[in-house]
Amino acid sequence: LPISTGLAAEKIPLAARIASVADVYDALTSDRPYKDAWSPVRAKQTIDNAAGTQFDPVVVAAFDHRFEDIVCIQLDYAERNPESLVESSPPEYALIRTS
């Protein structure tokens, strides 16, 4: 039987809805012992596909609106901490950074 907290849609605190998208994006774009990191674009597409079901569509729209900024911050962090970014992602970052 599924366990329900009784919270749904806007009854879930906004901070939790935002954290949910951020947490999944971070998990998908990070190496884990059981999987390689996904590219930022692949992670974004996965989150976009779950808008309205797993994620608040308004939060996903805000995430999409600031996606280039998010990737640039992620790249800046990776440049200071190169072990934090997989080698398969730099071409996407380069395209976003030059736009």
pTM above 0.75, yes or no: no
The pLDDT score that the predictor gives to residue 5 is 63
Helix (H, G, I), strand (E, B) or coil at 29: coil
Q: Tokens in use for 55?
A: 């994620």
Cα(96)–Cα(87) distance, integer angstroms: 16
H helices within 29-89, ranges in order? 40-49, 57-65, 67-80
Upper half-sphere CA count for residue 42 (Cβ side, 13 Å): 10
Q: For all residues of the chain together, what is the average pLDDT?
A: 82
Q: With contact defined as beta carbons under 8 Å apart, do 11 and 31 qualify? A: no
